[in-house]
Amino acid sequence: MNKIGFGLVNLARHKTKEEQVVEPQFYDRFLLLMTLCLMCFGWIMVTSASMPVAEKLYNNEYYISIKHAIFIAISLISMTVVFMFRMEWWRKYNMHLLLVAIVLLILVLLVGNTVNGSRRWLPLGIFNLQAAEVAKLFFFAFLAGYMVRQHEQLLENFKGFLKPLGVFTVLAVLLLQQPDLGTVIVMFVTTMALLFLAGARIWQFIALIGSGLVAVVSLILLEPYRLRRVTSFLDPWADPFGSGYQLTQSLMAYGRGDWAGLGLGNSIQKLDYLPEAHTDFIAAVIAEELGFVGLSILVVVLGVLVHRILRIGSKAMEKEEHYNGYFAYAIGIWVAFQVFVNIGASTGLLPTKGLTLPFISYGGSSLILFSIAMAVVLRIDYELRQKEDVELEVISEEGADYEHIS
């Protein structure tokens, strides 16, 4: 590089330094702002959707709203603490985290609380921890590590392709004992997407998709309640007061909302008509109160959030931070697919799966774990920015040395 070239580099570097002094950008502020806005919006909608059921169950219409506010506070504290952990820690202990996930899933089956026929929660006093949410994040941390450690084996032979599927199978068996098919499907789709990004062969994907479809169909046919969900999904109006009740009430909420909605707090379906209005079907309440326009804006914001996460993952891969890149990809795919399944189930596009709407639905475990996932993404972005600063400093020093020699 000639003297003029180094001079331009130094000029750009000095300008960058001045800008950082005025307004330092150590992490993706826009990503953090979107996360906080989604949490606040979720709290408002949970408050609106939960008032009738809170009054009925707890004789206090703000009971669920107050609990959700506490969950938000815990989530923010968790984000702050997890952000302090270097990504090297996640890379080093990803196997240990996987073992923790397996232990938690076993403990749920032994001492967990049963709600609506499902044993999914570990009582922790302040709230009940849903082990499946922890298992998703820790499994993705392990999967990213496996992609880095065994990348060549993954591409060269089928054995390397089967190993992460073996780990997934162990987790899936434990999850299906709860039972929790929704989480299994989320983990399966994310695993498949990561293997594709890692460069696995097409025929392996065809085999994986085929076996996955056979397994899902078999699980549906073996459990009568799952079969009822599918049949009610195909034609909910055939039994609107039985197996199709929840979906028909959800569709009524969407219909009432029209374009602009009935107004915040004016939902009719939440008045003990729509079950789980503040959790799995909160999207229907949003559509009823804020209309198609309001729900569309929410979907766009969540889409921008996912795009931001995936872009950070792409930057990490460009900088050869492969573990960070795969981990960010996994989190982005997880958020995107869960949004798709939740809204798809409430609109009748997909069978009911019992998955929350990220950052919006009521639920301490879901909110806290998604917040921790966002802290991981912010940490990845922070370390990338630090690495870029170091690289620019090296270029600047080399330019100064060249000028000194000249």
> Which of the four pLDDT bands, split at 50, 70 and 90, describes residue 16?
very low
pLDDT computed for residue 4 by the predictor: 44
> What are the angstrom distances between the C-alpha of 169 and each of 19, 96, 125, 143, 184?
50, 18, 31, 13, 9
Q: What is the pLDDT of residues 106-145, one digit of tens each?
A: 998 888 777 766 777 888 777 788 888 999 999 999 999 9
Q: What is the pLDDT of residues 138-182, one digit of tens each?
A: 999 999 998 888 777 777 777 777 788 888 888 988 888 887 888
| pLDDT at residue 50 is higher than 80 | yes
- ∠ CA 78-381-307 to the nearest 5 degrees? 95
- CA distance linking residue 327 with residue 197, whole number of Å: 12
- CA distance linking residue 363 with residue 339, whole number of Å: 15
- ∠ CA 72-113-53 to the nearest 5 degrees? 55
Omega of the bond prior to 351 within 30 degrees of 0, cis?
no
Chain centroid to CA 354: how far?
A: 14
| pLDDT at residue 261 is higher than 90 | no
User: Quick one: which of 30, 31, 25, 26 has its CA closest to 373?
Assistant: 31
Burial class (CB in 10 A: 0-12, 13-18, 19+), 218: exposed
Show me where the domains of the chain are located. Answer: 1-11+39-84+244-406, 87-222
| pLDDT at residue 23 is higher than 60 | no
> Which of the four pLDDT bands, split at 50, 70 and 90, describes residue 247?
confident
Q: What is the pLDDT of residues 278-299, one digit of tens each?
A: 888 899 999 999 999 999 999 9
